[in-house]
Amino acid sequence: MKRRGLFLLQLGFTLLVCAFLVVPVILSMLAGLTVNYFIGVESGLTLRWVMEVWNGYRETIFLSIGLSLACLAVTLVLGVPTAYVLAKRQNALTRTLEEMLVLPVAVPGLATALALIVTYGSLSGFRTSWAFILVGHVLFTLPFMVRSVLAVLSAIDLKTLEEGAASLGAGFWPRFRDIVLPNCRQGILAGSLMVVTLSMGEFNMTWLLHTPFTKTLPVGLADAYASLRLEVGSAYTLVFFLMIMPLLLALQAFAKPRPAKFVAEETE
């Protein structure tokens, strides 16, 4: 009986914490669908605010999607080979490089953004293009790609697998294509989802790097909350959720470890 009481207590506490986290989200989403937030849901539900967001901030949504995909492309091209080299050559130099890569995550985004502006701000064509934001996003997301690929590569005996492939006649490129890439697929997928999600939601750095013509979704969101009706800002949040939730769910699914299979010795 005592054990059951304890369980109920724990369950209650867990639900309370969940509610604490989830209720604001639901309220915020509801606010975006309410005719007048100050009167409440009794005032009726409407898609008007969502349409207003769509009409006014459509560009920011497309820019964010485009940016995150470009960011993914760049981190794939840079990150996967980097992880491969880091996995193959373990020495003082590569360990230092690995630490350096993580710096943009540790340093506040504002500081990174300021450094970029101070250094490249005078290149006006670059400063005003979305590529400027892309550079910031790549700096920030690259370590996540490298880390997740590296984690997978370190878990397999890459050197011997490659030697095995070489002994069968495979040169460097066939080996990379047939052995290295397929065996770090899990890491690449997990890293990709992470990069897209982070790039999509990045605000810190983007706030400083953007121009009025290169507003991303989170920047537009801050804009909407600061200058428009609360309902519009909330509707914007709703749109953001709808975009990011499928990504987060996919991330969860891929992050699950594959169960190891045990097979008993078979005699034939």
* 53: Cα separation from own chain's centroid: 23
Which residue in 24, 44, 66, 174 binds another protein (CB under 8 A)?
174
Which residue in 3, 118, 212, 265 binds another protein (CB under 8 A)?
265
Which residue in 117, 151, 161, 222 binds another protein (CB under 8 A)?
161
CA dihedral of residues 118, 123, 124, 128 (deg, nearest 10): -70
Query: DSSP letter string over 77-128?
Result: HHHHHHHHHHHH--SHHHHHHHHHHHHHHHS-HHHHHHHHHHHHTT-HHHHT
Measure the CA–CA gap between 219 and 50, rounded to whole angstroms. 17
> Applying CB under 8 A, does 257 fall inside the site for another protein?
no
Interacting stretch for another protein, rule CB under 8 A, among 1-9, 102-110, 178-186, 244-252?
178-186
Q: Which is nearer to another protein, 179 or 219 (CB)?
A: 179
> Applying CB under 8 A, does 89 fall inside the site for another protein?
no
Q: Which is nearer to another protein, 58 or 185 (CB)?
A: 185
Q: Which amino acid is it at 176?
A: F
Interacting stretch for another protein, rule CB under 8 A, among 5-13, 174-182, 188-196, 213-221?
174-182
Residues at the contact surface with another protein, assessed by CB under 8 A: 156-157, 160-161, 163-171, 174, 178-179, 182-183, 185, 260-261, 263-266, 268
